[in-house]
Amino acid sequence: MALAGLRIILVEPAGPMNVGSIARVMKNFGLQQLVLVNPQCNPLSTEALQMAVHAKNILESAVIAGTLPEALQGCTRAIATTARVRNWDSPLENPRTALPWLLEEPEQPAALIFGREDRGLSNEELNYAQRFIRIPTGPSYPSLNLATAVGICCYELSQSDADKEDAKEENDPTLSENESAPLDLLEEYYQQLESLLLKLGYLYPHTAASRMEKFRQLYNRAQLQTKEVAMLRGILRQVEWALENRNNCEDF
């Protein structure tokens, strides 16, 4: 997935609890690569690890870079976040419309850059990005906590990635509207369904084969079409995602 290759870059983060919270929200939404530029705190401190909860692996694998150019090495696209209005030719964009651009080349590394908690990114640092976003907030209190800002962007990125996957399936020219599902596609669905039902505890290993026969008979009677199988597999993927993230959700 494109999300797996996306770097979340924090420039000189000072709060270990913020860093831990960011690792957690990254894992909530399927992002894995955290890069810290000259961090002003210990990302493996007790406070950071406690806030990360089940995302300690993201803190442990975080890359430490000395400079922003070093953190961006290999990236072909970069978006920077800023709260300040600047008189630049490049406009400040809304995250929902700008962030999908980072996922358009999934084979190429891309980056989303966040500044310091107290003063954001400098003009020099902003020059390393190609596009710039500002999260719209209420005028009475426009300042956002760093971890909150990262969470909003991670959510928008995950939604964009999911929409792209759905559109890919819907627009697949091999999926004819009335085409009966090929047997090999059905078999892939059955394997995915069985694996999920075992995780849920609905099936037990010693009775799984006989129970799955019932499901096969049910779906055979329905004579599923290819697009219908794609829809069912999309449902299973969403349930699998919910299972993987249920521990994080239970902590709220």
Tell me: pLDDT of 175 over 60.
no
CATH at residue 192: 1.10.8.590
- My answer on whether 131 and 194 are in the same domain is no
- Average pLDDT of the chain? 88
Q: Specify which of 63-67, 166-170, 203-207, 209-213 reaches the highest per-range mean pLDDT.
A: 63-67
Q: Same domain, yes or no, for 143 and 37?
A: yes
| Separation of alpha carbons 29 and 99, rounded Å | 14
Contacts of 36 by beta carbon, 8 Å cutoff, 6+ apart: 9, 10, 13, 19, 43, 62, 63, 64, 65
Do 85 and 197 lie in one domain? The reply is: no
pLDDT-above-90 percentage for the chain: 58
Overall average pLDDT of the 107-131 stretch: 92
91 and 16 within one domain: yes
Q: What is the CATH number of the domain that holds 146?
A: 3.40.1280.10
Would you place residue 58 in the very low, low, confident or very high pLDDT band (cuts 50, 70, 90)? very high
pLDDT tens figures, 187-239: 899 999 999 999 999 999 998 999 998 888 888 888 888 888 888 999 999 88
47: pLDDT strictly greater than 60: yes
Confidence of residue 176 (pLDDT cuts 50, 70, 90): low
pLDDT for the residue numbered 193: 93
**What is the mean predicted confidence (pLDDT) over 147-159?**
95
* 142 and 195 fall within a common domain: no
pLDDT (0 to 100) of residue 102: 94
Please give the tally of structural domains in the chain.
2
Residues 153 and 184 in one domain: no
Indicate whether 252 pLDDT > 80. no
**Residue 106 pLDDT level (bands cut at 50, 70, 90):** confident
Q: Does residue 190 share a domain with residue 72?
A: no
**225: domain range?**
172-250
pLDDT of 167 reads 58
The residue with greater pLDDT, 184 or 79, is 79
Residues 45 and 110 in one domain: yes
- Mean pLDDT across the stretch 126-150? 91
Looking at the fold, whether 99 and 224 belong to one and the same domain comes out as no
On whether both 218 and 162 belong to a single domain, the answer is: no
From 148, 166, 184, the end of a domain falls on 166
- Which of 147, 166, 185 terminates a domain? The answer is 166
Same domain, 136 and 210: no
Residue 39 shares a structural domain with residue 11: yes
What is the pLDDT at residue 220? 82
Averaged pLDDT, 30-39: 96
Burial classification of residue 169, based on how many CB atoms lie within 10 Å of its CB (0-12 exposed, 13-18 middle, 19 or more buried)? middle
Final residue of a structural domain among 166, 196, 219: 166
